[in-house]
Amino acid sequence: MQPRDVEQAARRFGLGPVVTEPHVAGRGKQGVLWLVVTPAGPFAVKEVLDALSEVEAAADAAFVTQMADRGVHAPQPLRTAEGTVLADVDGATVRVSTWVDLDPPRVDVDPAAVGALFATLHRDPPASAATAATAATAATAARSTAAAAEVDPWYTEPVPEQEWDDLTRALLAERAPFADGFAATAPVLLGLQDHFRPPADLRTCHRDLWADNVRGTPEGRLCVIDWDNCGPQDPTQEVCVALVEYCLGDAGRAAALWRAYRAGGGTGRPVDRGDFTMVLAQFGHFAVSAAQDWLEAADDPARDDAEAWFRELLDRPLDVAGIDLLLAAVRDA
């Protein structure tokens, strides 16, 4: 997309005249984010790079709105004059939301704040204006709707051993700078796959709550961004993402996060290594995707990006001992 395309997107979503030239504010694997300023304020225009249907986008927009009503701080999705969440602009798929100023990603944010946030995302629909029976029915319906949808294998399925072997050989043959690290990581993650267990209590979850998407703000709040991947998942497995991302190797932080999560009404209850399936599955898919990206890269910047993605795993390795430390902290708390 070019600035003129972003201005066209602003018109499609009724943002008003653009007062400064739009510019790229962020890039990720799933989209390019542009900052647009109009008399009504700043807005985020996202060029969606992965396939996304209007039905999927409308579902995640509804989920954002529901969570915002609970108090979750998040950019609010906007719609076109026709009522759609997505728009086609010269062949590019775009969506628009309100703008939020964000701090850089950090894993050392207040664990109690993270626990309270995850609790808000996971607790059942409140019964404020309804009877308890109605609330229970709503909660059951929400879980049934999630269960009826397809569970993405990215969060549940192991990487086949043959794929690990093939990529290890390819990286070594091409003298990839992280080939030795990949070869050493493969047997560790392969061993952890023995603990995988399917998700049980399916309901709609964000499913991408790593530090890149849970960001501090200048006013001191946590903000959740990038809801494009939301879908059916088990809150127990998703809260383990928080334990790994924000507490790995630190039982004190894990206990603080867990106490806040329980106090806030979080419904997840990790009890064994199988509850970390969502984390471990993603770690495996992150590693092989980074390797594939490096092997298929057309230039040095793309190879550098793929290597950096893999080295994030090397910087904070996860093993059985790390999982057991987190489980013990939860149990003791």
Q: What is the pLDDT of residues 165-206, one digit of tens each?
A: 999 999 999 999 999 999 999 999 999 999 999 999 899 999
Domain boundary among 55, 73, 98: 98
221 phi-psi bin (left φ>0, alpha ψ -120 to 50, beta other): beta
Q: Examine residue 82 and state whether it is found in any structural domain, yes or no.
A: yes
pLDDT in tens, 56-72: 999 999 999 999 999 99
Low-confidence ranges of the chain (pLDDT < 50): 126-148
**Please, what is the end-to-end C-alpha distance for the chain in angstroms?**
50
Q: Examine residue 104 and state whether it is found in any structural domain, yes or no.
A: no
319 is in which domain, residue-wise? 111-332
Q: Examine residue 86 and state whether it is found in any structural domain, yes or no.
A: yes
Residues 79 and 164 reside in one and the same domain? no
Residue 17: partners with Cβ closer than 8 Å, 6 or more residues away: 38, 39
Residues 161 and 231 reside in one and the same domain? yes
Residues 70 and 118 reside in one and the same domain? no
Q: Determine the pLDDT at residue 135.
A: 36
Structural domains counted in the chain? 2
Q: Examine residue 231 and state whether it is found in any structural domain, yes or no.
A: yes
Residues 66 and 133 reside in one and the same domain? no
Residues 190 and 293 reside in one and the same domain? yes
Q: Determine the pLDDT at residue 171.
A: 97
Residue 201 CA, distance from chain mean position:
19
Q: Determine the pLDDT at residue 125.
A: 52
Q: Determine the pLDDT at residue 317.
A: 86
Residues 184 and 268 reside in one and the same domain? yes
Residues 160 and 53 reside in one and the same domain? no
Residue 302 sits in a domain whose CATH number is 3.90.1200
Q: Determine the pLDDT at residue 1.
A: 85
Residues 130 and 57 reside in one and the same domain? no
Residues 210 and 280 reside in one and the same domain? yes
Residues 158 and 228 reside in one and the same domain? yes
Residues 94 and 155 reside in one and the same domain? no
Rounded distance between C-alpha atoms, residue 122 and residue 263, angstroms: 12
